[in-house]
Amino acid sequence: MQENKIVKVQNLSCIFDKGTENETIAINDFSYEFDMKKFHFEGEVVEPASKVLVDGTVYSKEKEIVVKLHVKTELKLCCSRCLDTFIYPIDFEIEERFTNVDESLDDDVIFVKGDELDITDFVEREIISTLPIKKLCSNECKGLCHKCGKNLNIDSCTCDNEDIDVRLAGLKALLENKEV
C-alpha cells in the first residue's frame, strides 16, 4: 500500500511576520495528492473513489498564515432514496486563516497547536463537511417501489402505488365517507 503523503506547513512562527497586517506575502505553492481513508458519515461508511488532489498556496499575514486550496476528489456514496452506490464528485476552493498565537480573538481564524499545520488533516475535514445530509444519486431519482422494492430508476413495476401516502389515503377515505 502506498504511503500517504502528508503535507505540513512547518515553522509557523517563522512564517508569521513575513507579511504585515496590510500586506500578504506568498510563501510557497504546493500541489500533491493523497489517499483518503474510509470514514464514517451519518451512520454509513464512505469510501473514496479516487485520490484527493490538492493545489494550494500559503501566505503570511502578520500573526496568521492564510492557506488557499483547490481540492478535488470523488467519493462513493449510497443514495438515500434508491440505496444504489453512486460517485459523488467534490471540487471546491477554500481560503482559511490559521494562527498559533494564543491571544488571537478573531473567531474566523483557526487555532493551531504547536508549530506545524497539517494540510491533509484540514482537507479531509473540509471534504467531510461538504457532504450533503440527503445523498441523492440524482435529483430525479425515483427511489424504490415501496411494495416490491424494485429500483424504479432501472425498471418499472406493476404495483398499484396510488395509495402509497398513508396520510393522503386516510384523507381520501374521510372525504369519501363524508359524501355518503
List the x/- string, 129-148, binding to Zn ion by CB under 5 A.
--------x---x---x-xx
- CB nearer Zn ion, residue 46 or residue 79: 79
Using CB under 5 A, which residues numbered 29 to 68 contact Zn ion?
none
Residue 161 has φ and ψ, to the nearest 5°, of -100, 20
Question: Does the protein bind Zn ion through residue 12 (CB under 5 A)?
Answer: no
- Provide the phi-psi class of 143: left if phi over 0, else alpha when psi is between -120 and 50, else beta: left
Residue 169 has φ and ψ, to the nearest 5°, of -60, -40
Q: How far is the CB of 94 from Zn ion (least distance, A)?
A: 28
Using CB under 5 A, which residues numbered 70 to 99 contact Zn ion?
79, 81-82
Question: Does the protein bind Zn ion through residue 157 (CB under 5 A)?
Answer: yes
Given the rule CB under 5 A, which residues bind Zn ion?
79, 81-82, 137, 141, 145, 147-148, 157, 159
